[in-house]
Amino acid sequence: MAIQKAHTSKQGITSSSAYHRIERADCRKDRTTLAIVHIYNSASDKDRSSLDSFDFEFTMDVTNSGANPINQAYEYLKTQDGIGGIDYTTGTTDV
């Protein structure tokens, strides 16, 4: 699971099909979750060094109907404009 979205790295590398993958989601006792995102040039580069990375926090749904933390992190990320300096509200494709 990942998001495909155009991205220009902090170093100026541009990718029209960058692969944005949540590497980890750490749940805390207070229901906040810290998610770590790595951005790769493409899906085929996901085993190489990332172009960029950032983290963000969100409040996880801990009820029985709540999806797993990684899925919840992706759903939250796609509603955000500005996390990691990126607008995830448009131009994203689930891959």
Closest CA to 7 of 45, 59, 58, 47: 45
What global pTM score does this model have? Answer: 0.93
Q: Does 22 score more than 90 pLDDT?
A: yes
Each residue's pLDDT tens digit, 41-87: 999 999 999 999 999 999 988 776 767 999 999 999 999 999 999 99
HEC sequence for 10-41: CCCCEECCCEEEEEEEEECCCCEEEEEEEEEC
